[in-house]
Structure 1
Amino acid sequence: MTRIGYARVSTIDQDLDQQLSKLKAEGCAIIRSEKISGGSREGRDELATVIEFLRPGDELLVTRLDRLGRDTRDVLNIVHECEQRGAFVTVLDPHVTTRGDMGHMVLTVLGMVAQMERRFIKERQREGIERAKAKGVYRGGRQRFDRSEICRLYQNGIGPAAIARLVGCSRMQVYRIVNEQEVHHTKMA
């Protein structure tokens, strides 16, 4: 049996250290981490790698359920995939495991609460943006990456993985930016 840790934060300026420390303290032989939104599974390559690596009797550990996913259906699908491989999922805070029937119920409820919380946050954020726009003080979110630099590097033959490392973003973000640029140029032609 191998204990495999998975850590995730949503943005590149967030820190993974606390999650990594907790997973190491729990005896995880392998820990994979990524900096990407948990709103969907798209682009979460490290999570896919972890699930693919799981063998019967292995245990996937996360510090909190929202590190696994923000959508209840997504979380339950991930748990199901792990169980199809004969592995278990354990959440450290609060401590819940899928080794027993009660763990499944608790994970489902926690997933639903996390999803509701995310909806409430988005609603409050949207309301705040509307108020700021009405006052004329809203400027929009800041761009985290120089999109033109990413496109220039790509056009110079540098691969998406290398660009992602240079700029500090995910490979999927590089693909999105390059595709957006190509669509924009196609429309302009």
Structure 2
Amino acid sequence: MADDTILTLTHATNRDIDLLLVEELQCSPAFGEWLVQRVSGNDFERSSVTHSTRGMVAQMEQRFIKGRQRDGIVAAKLRGAYVGGKKQLDYDSV
């Protein structure tokens, strides 16, 4: 396969493509360099890819934060330091 051949995905959603990009960025620093080189010629494409990439990174960060929070809650429950919030609704009266 030639270096200038671009493989395309058919029937892929934007979410699928975003997840593929995130996975590739995590696995291969060289992919990030390649991506920057490919989009550096056109300002519109570059800004679009930058926006999409920032969105993906933000989603990854949110998943990491929620995971750490979940782990912290489990650890606190095991120590007996976390009992949860007070009940906001009386289910018997509903």
Q: TM-score, normalised by structure 2?
A: 0.46
Compare relative contact order (CA 8 Å, sep 6+) and give the higher one, 1 or 2. Answer: 2
Structure with more helix by fraction: 2
Q: TM-score, normalised by structure 1?
A: 0.24
